[in-house]
Amino acid sequence: MQNIIPHSETQQRTSLHTHKETGLNTSAAPASVAHTRHDDILLVTIDNPPVNALGVDVRRGLMTAIEAADADPAVKAVVIVGAGRNFLGGADIREFGKPPQAPALPDVCNSIEACTKPVVAAIHGAALGGGLEVALGAHYRVALGTAKLGLPEVLLGLLPGAGGTQRTPRLIGAPAALELMLSGRHIGAKEAAKLGLVDKLVEGEDAAAAGLAYARELIASGAAPRRTSEASALSDRSSTQAAIDAARAETSKKARGLFSPLKIVDAVQGALDLPFGDGMALERKLFLACLDSPQRAGLVHAFFAEREAAKAPETRSAQPRAIGSVGIVGGGTMGAGIAVAVLDAGLPVTMIERDDEALARGRANVEKVYDGLIAKGRIKAEAKDAIMARFKGSSSYDALGEVDLVIEAVFEDMAVKQAVFKELDRVCKPGAVLATNTSYLDIDQIAASISRPQDVIGLHFFSPANIMKLLEIVVPAQVAADVVATAFELAKKLKKTAVRAGVCDGFIGNRVLAVYGAAAQAIMEDGASPWQIDKAVRDFGYPMGPFQVSDLAGGDIGWATRKRRAATRDPKARYVQIPDRIAERGWFGQKTGRGYYLYPQGARIGTPDPEVEAIIDAERQRAGITPRSFTDEEIVRRYLAAMINEGANVVHQKIALRPLDVDVTFVHGYGFPRYRGGPMHYADTVGLDKILADIQEFAKEDPLFWQPSPLLVDLVARGEKFASLNK
């Protein structure tokens, strides 16, 4: 790759133009980095679409530009800027998994910092991860209002590995640096300036002009290079140590089981204790340890799986319909949560309830969310007023006549839902999308009950709908492709993680949940206590165990589902009656003060209930079961084998397009530990042959329940992984 330094004001962004006078080859390939002279300032422009990722050509180009600046006595300052919409978007994902190529990014950042001329980073758009580390290697930073800065490596199981853990705390102090790195969040230009991460804010849209103007100011004032590695924000050792200790204690609690967060704390400790060069060596050692961690592989898989899940076939073949307004039928917990999610996306909402009293409750449910945010200082009262100005309600379906999309969120009963859709069919305009929020019911049956089945789709939100990220987009047989595309576009507007699912009882998530829930109940009836099972599942990485989740959701929900399924249940299948005995007593979990656990005086954390143990013992005797002991490892093996096996069935039957869709569903909707990538990715890491062997072993006790999925058997026979089906 060649670079030239013509003495002109012409900026060369996308390629190196050549001239006869230079003697350069006119067939030179396009460059990712061009540098041009603007009087005595060298403007270095990175152009690596779409996000200016730090690929090897960019790294080499930056090194070459800095060397050119140092070698040219006419250059008095350097400005680094990104072409297009971003400064630098971080690592190049196309290089993931490939052998590293020189120069490494730490060497590039060190080279920038070592430059003998003042270097200005002119930031607009994203300066994330390695992009921010390049900016920290510069001596001065100017940012436009559009700038977004962050060190999100922790979200991929890594830590900033090009000086971020060493330069950031030296520049802005340990508390702010630790919060930035441990949260992985992006911050805006104003917050970055307040923290001291950037030196100057500039209004406007031309980062190059802002950088050049700032560089001219620096030259005029005689400013010298100001190296971030020599910044003094760690000079108060005692307060810095206290901040590091506090971060370590909080991280140990909040990031339980995660590898990289505590390594970030260790690296910042190194920034306090060690000279910069030794701190960089420690950072590199810790970075490589994170790189080798299975958690990094799991988090990277989850990262890419989320992006692939959003690419359903219909999103490629059809354009979404316009969505300018949304109707919601039902103002209960789910309907109100969906309303908040839609309002937060800036869309107007019309809520329908059966009468004015129910409508008032629905509105109150929506306002309660915003009142909670006001109480926490997250929003101001005026912001709530502006949001609620987009909310209106009615007890007449006629109010939905002009909305573009309607989401039904009423009681989980087929007759009730069909009655709602009959009204929607009557009042909604042609082309309106008609969505049901059912968790289990047959959407094909709902669609077939009206005159426009092509407009009907499932949007399965998870409660609380304004917080939970997962949205299952359930695709019935007769739906139009542009309706599916519209659902994915809506998910994007709502900032949801969308997964395409086919129609069956429970779709992807709840169908698999029913199976591993049954496995947990069988383990309980066979001898393990609910609290031992919950603890084993939590120790694997879940935030809660299955019986805690049941108590949180409400035992009456599962009880109603079991009763609905009773008529179609295989009489030969094992059926554990313990949950029914608990539900029959009205013990529905937290909302009734007891379920599997006791919740005295409204406690959120339950304590084991001796009466539940007595119910379990009585049911074991009734079923003729002699209880046996289980290790935590045995519990987890059974629990996950049931989950993985049914996940394989879901893929085999095309309910999920790919194994990665199952992974995304369980990471975002069911608490599966993100750092393990999802159940199907986890199965690949364990070995599908081992999973199959476990299932075949368990089948000796219950061959009807433990039937190996045909897909799992086939993959093992071919020596393939679930990952082979993700392409």
Full set of structural domains in the chain with CATH:
20-289 (3.90.226.10), 323-505 (3.40.50.720), 510-725 (1.10.1040.50)
User: Residue 84 above 90 pLDDT?
Assistant: yes
Cα–Cα distance measured from residue 654 to residue 665, given in angstroms and rounded to the nearest whole number:
15
User: Residue 685 above 50 pLDDT?
Assistant: yes
Instruction: Please tell me the predicted confidence (pLDDT) of residue 412.
Output: 87
User: Residue 252 above 80 pLDDT?
Assistant: yes
pLDDT digits (tens, 9 = 90+) for 329-369: 999 999 999 999 999 999 999 999 999 999 999 999 999 99
DSSP for residue 24: -
Instruction: Please tell me the predicted confidence (pLDDT) of residue 658.
Output: 98
Cα–Cα distance measured from residue 683 to residue 694, given in angstroms and rounded to the nearest whole number:
12
Distance of CA 622 to the CA centre of its chain: 46
Q: How far is CA 430 from CA 269, 356, 433, 440, 488, in A?
A: 63, 28, 9, 27, 20
Q: Which two tokens stand for residue 710?
A: 């045909």
User: Residue 680 above 80 pLDDT?
Assistant: yes
Of 125 and 93, the structure prediction assigns the larger pLDDT to 125
Amino acid at 690: K
Amino acid at 121: A
pLDDT band at 557 (very low <50, low <70, confident <90, very high): confident
Closest CA to 340 of 324, 328, 358: 328
Mean pLDDT over each residue of the chain, to the nearest integer: 93
pLDDT band at 602 (very low <50, low <70, confident <90, very high): confident
Looking at the annotation, which residues are catalytic?
A: 133, 153
Cα–Cα distance measured from residue 615 to residue 173, given in angstroms and rounded to the nearest whole number:
56
User: Residue 476 above 50 pLDDT?
Assistant: yes
Q: Which two tokens stand for residue 17?
A: 């133009």
Instruction: Please tell me the predicted confidence (pLDDT) of residue 98.
Output: 79
User: Residue 235 above 90 pLDDT?
Assistant: yes
Whether the bond into 571 is cis, omega within 30 of 0: no
322, 325, 328, 334: CA torsion to nearest 10: 80
Instruction: Please tell me the predicted confidence (pLDDT) of residue 5.
Output: 27
SS3 content of the chain, % helix, strand, coil (to 5): 55, 10, 35
Instruction: Please tell me the predicted confidence (pLDDT) of residue 515.
Output: 96
Cα–Cα distance measured from residue 164 to residue 181, given in angstroms and rounded to the nearest whole number:
9
Q: In what side-by-side order are the strands of the sheet with 119-123?
A: 33-38, 41-46, 77-82, 119-123, 140-144, 200-202
Instruction: Please tell me the predicted confidence (pLDDT) of residue 717.
Output: 98
User: Residue 90 above 90 pLDDT?
Assistant: no
Of 95 and 49, the structure prediction assigns the larger pLDDT to 49
Q: What is the mean pLDDT of residues 602-615?
A: 94
159, 160, 161, 164: CA torsion to nearest 10: -140
Give the position of tokens 């950037």.
198
Amino acid at 607: T
Whether the bond into 608 is cis, omega within 30 of 0: no
Instruction: Please tell me the predicted confidence (pLDDT) of residue 558.
Output: 85
pLDDT digits (tens, 9 = 90+) for 304-324: 999 999 999 999 999 999 999
Amino acid at 369: V
Collapse the DSSP code of 21 into the 3-class scheme (helix H, G, I; strand E, B; otherwise coil) and give the result. helix
Among 248-257, 449-458, 611-620, the range scoring the smallest mean pLDDT is 248-257
Q: What is the mean pLDDT of residues 152-178?
A: 97
Q: Which two tokens stand for residue 522?
A: 């069988």
Say if residues 302 and 678 touch (Cβ distance below 8 Å). Answer: yes
Instruction: Please tell me the predicted confidence (pLDDT) of residue 65.
Output: 96
625, 630, 632, 636: CA torsion to nearest 10: -50
Instruction: Please tell me the predicted confidence (pLDDT) of residue 95.
Output: 77
pLDDT digits (tens, 9 = 90+) for 171-220: 999 999 999 999 999 999 999 999 999 999 999 999 999 999 999 999 99
Say if residues 519 and 528 touch (Cβ distance below 8 Å). Answer: no
User: Residue 421 above 60 pLDDT?
Assistant: yes
Residue 637, classified by CB atoms within 10 Å of its CB into exposed (0-12), middle (13-18) or buried (19+), is buried
Cα–Cα distance measured from residue 134 to residue 598, given in angstroms and rounded to the nearest whole number:
54
Q: What is the mean pLDDT of residues 97-115?
A: 93
User: Residue 638 above 90 pLDDT?
Assistant: yes
